[in-house]
Amino acid sequence: MLSKKENLQKNNYYKLLENKLGFIFCELIEANDKQFKIGIIDADLLDQGTKHPNLALLKISGYCKEFRHSVKLICDYSEIADKLKEDIYDFLIMSKVFNFTKIPAVIQKRIDNKEIIIGGTGFYGMDSPDLPDKIEHHMPDYELYTDFISSQTDNFTKNVIRYEDYLNYSIGFTTRGCFRKCSYCVNRKYDRVIKHSPISEFLDPKRRGIYLWDDNFMASPDFYTILDALIATGKPFQFRQGLDIRLMTADKAERLAKVKYKGDFIFAFDHIEDAEKISNSLKIWKKYYKKSTKLYVLTGYDSQDERDIENTFERIKIIMEHGCLPYIMRYEDYKESKYKSMYIQLARWCNQPNFLKKKSFRQYCKANEEYHLTHTNIIKGYCSCYKAMIDFEMEFPEIAKKYYDLRFEEINQYKSK
């Protein structure tokens, strides 16, 4: 149990956390005269699950374990729902990345009562408090989720692929920041890209690959130096944020094309206004890189009407013309759109390359209707996919005429190269 003085320091820490400071917490953790029991809570994991470990929590755990404190990942809210169990943990620390992650009322009450330390963009958005430097730059504790994964995978024999990022990758930021200031992005603290961590800071040699959360690596003045350091590890790596294709140059394309990359390179095409710039950049990229490339396509953000559907189709067309694959990212406001079902069907068509490469949007919707007629007992009415297609076509025939019958294999300018 914490002493009266330590509890006072703990309460002061909550106040300091709101001011983006964590020094008192670090002072307590580094006091080696006793071992604290620390409960770690990944709110996203406990809500609907997540494919990625929470990097901030990995670092907090690693830091606390360095000073021989006991750290445990909370795998069920029932472990901390009863305040009478408070003496089990000296500190409870919770993070969430997404603002839509739900937290049970009984746990929210404990948060409101300052009984749980909270952090992350899911709570604070772009004003999320920074970790103290000695935590931010600590080696992550990659074993934090081990017991949880084991409980979900029958000793790693089932559903292991779902937890690949937890098990097989070193995770970190080589740079932080972006000058774009996109209004939908929670990482708008910086107005430039700065070097953040050397790879050695988060590299576990036993793990087979590296993935990186850099906000805009393409804009880094240290682009080539960092790339050389990543190559020197001998491990495949991947940037999980969409790389900024607008900053592509011949030199950058040539260097990137030669690295040991994990999976597809992924860029972003968020706004139709960037069409000419992105098209020119893709021409540079395709000169050096012949393998599969994806581009995130943001939808439902600028508007949720027929204009947004039309410019989504246009971006899909440009991407296919350059032999690349679109990946639809739906901003949550699409759910309020009259054309919600169209957004869903576009995502289903594009986000499954086997469909996109072989069928036009019209063919894809017709195939869904044929399946609906032959494999279900529902006789009346069209399937949701086909209905969305024909309803939109009836209202906007010119848009449908322009885009519904585009086929990847026909408009791909690089198919024979």
CB half-sphere exposure, 152, CA atoms < 13 A: 18
pLDDT for the residue numbered 410: 95
pLDDT of residue 17: 45
What percent of the chain shows pLDDT beyond 90?
A: 66
| SS3 letters across the chain | CCCHHHHHHHHHHHHHHHCCCCHHHHHHHHCCCCCCEEEEEEHHHHHCCCCCCCHHHHHHHHHHHHCCCEEEECCCHHHCCCHHHHHHCCEEEEECCCCCCCCCHHHHHHHHCCCCEEECHHHHHHHCCCCCHHHHCCCCCCCCCHHHHHHHHCCCCCCHHHHHHHHHEEEECCEECCCCCCCCCCCCCCCCCEECCCHHHCCCCCCCEEEECCCCHHHCCCHHHHHHHHHHCCCCEEECCCECHHHCCHHHHHHHHCCCECCCEEEECCCHHHHHHHHHHHHHHHHHCCCCEEEEEEECCCCCCHHHHHHHHHHHHHHHHCCCEEEEEECHHHHHCCCHHHHHHHHHHHCCHHHHHHCCHHHHHHHHHHHHHHHCCCCCCCCHHHHHHHHHHHHCHHHHHHHCCCCHHHHCCCCCC
Q: What pLDDT does 248 receive?
A: 97
The pLDDT of residue 156 is above 80? no
Cα distances from 284 to residues 221, 277, 281, 414, in angstroms, run 20, 11, 5, 13
Banded pLDDT at 16 (limits 50, 70, 90)? very low
Kindly list the distances between the CA atom of residue 19 and the CA atoms of 12, 39, 98, 124, 127, in Å, as whole numbers in the listed order: 11, 23, 21, 12, 10
pLDDT in tens, 104-117: 999 999 988 888 88
The whole-number pLDDT of residue 202 equals 98
pLDDT at 66 over 50: yes
Report whether pLDDT(273) > 90.
Answer: yes
